Amino acid sequence: MDLSWMAWTWPTALFFIVIVCMLLGMAFWEYKSPGGAPRVGVLRIETTRGDRLFISLLGSAYIHIAWLGLTNLSLWWALALSLIYAFCVFRYV
Q: What is the 3-state secondary structure (H, E, C) of 15-77?
A: HHHHHHHHHHHHHHHHHHCCCCCCEECCCCCEECHHHHHHHHHHHHHHHHHHHHHHCCCCHHH
The answer to whether 57 and 26 have CB atoms below 8 angstroms apart is no
Domain that holds residue 60: 4-92
Residue 3 confidence (pLDDT) above 70: no
- Other beta carbons less than 10 A from residue 33's beta carbon: 10
Model confidence over 43-91: pLDDT tens digits? 899 998 889 999 999 999 999 999 999 999 998 999 999 999 999 999 9
Residue 8 confidence (pLDDT) above 80: no
pTM of the model: 0.79
Domain count, the chain: 1
